[in-house]
Amino acid sequence: MRVILIGPQGAGKGTQAKRISEKTGARVISTGDMVRAEIKAGTELGRKVKEYNDRGELVPDEIIVEMAKPHLGAPEGWVLDGFPRTEAQARALEEVLAELGIGIDRVIALEAPDEVLVERLSGRRQSQATGRIYHVRYDPPPQDSEEDPGPFVQRDDDTEEAIRRRLELYHEQTEPLKRYYARQGLLAEVDATRSIPEVTEQVMKAIRENG
Ligand code: AP5
């Protein structure tokens, strides 16, 4: 199964990608996680991408495509979280997939208005131990859990200014991808304002109804 999740920041791409992966065995490929891992490791690439990340700007297409490429042949299939995010990335992805002789099964657009997204992002916490995503109100981090001891921290790009910039860029550069994939008959839109399990159910339904 090969599925792309598109959606504005905070729509729940990371949350849903993990849940779909648990249900289907497909690998989660998150370019955002890759960017943060490089920053955390303090690599040269990490230093290059940190400024973009912290300002809420998009990392240049060629860097992102090189990061994602080695994972796209995964035999267990994948859920792409946060990639592609521009038309240039979508075209580069198509080229890589053509070389590998594989295709995309479904593109799911998670839909939610900006005011819901800002509230979700300001309450988001991520476990430094496991990378799992929580929300102080909607999915609170566990207390005294051996499975996930935390600490549970806020991301550097979850400041109000960076959130606003990321949403602006989403509407400008990523939203047009919906038309791009609709023309290919791959797009399904899902209401992401519902509860986390309800959204998963709708996403799984859209995957099963494939095309
Ligand atoms: P990335 O990590 O992809 O961040 P993002 O796009 O800003 O998306 P988010 O992770 O903020 O949101 P999400 O939709 O995954 O929401 P989540 O599940 O966490 O990218 C970070 C940066 O890396 C970019 O800014 C850029 O610099 C760079 N980058 C990455 N990919 C790139 C690319 N392709 N091109 C160029 N640059 C790239 O959920 C949010 C919160 O809401 C959580 O707290 C969660 O618990 C809660 N929540 C989720 N669903 C629900 C629900 N249904 N009800 C209630 N609460 C919910």
Q: What is the pLDDT of residue 157?
A: 86
* Average pLDDT rounded to a whole number, residues 125-146: 93
Residue type, 137: R
CA of 12 to the centre of ligand 1 (A): 6
Which residues lie closer than 8 Å to 30 by C-beta, 6 or more apart?
14, 17, 81, 82, 83
Is the pTM for the entire model greater than 0.85?
A: yes
Residues framing ligand 1 (Cβ under 6 A): 7, 9-15, 31-32, 35, 52-53, 56-59, 64, 82-83, 85, 89, 120-121, 123-124, 133-135, 138-139, 157, 166, 192, 195-196, 199
* Average pLDDT rounded to a whole number, residues 103-122: 94
Which among 54, 67, 120 is the best mutation to test ligand 1's pocket, defined by most ligand atoms within 8 Å of the CB? 120
- Taken in order of first residue, the domains within the chain and their CATH numbers are 2-209 (3.40.50.300)
* Average pLDDT rounded to a whole number, residues 171-195: 96
Residue type, 162: A
Before 151, cis peptide (omega within 30)? yes
> Nearest to residue 72, comparing CAs of 28, 39, 8?
28
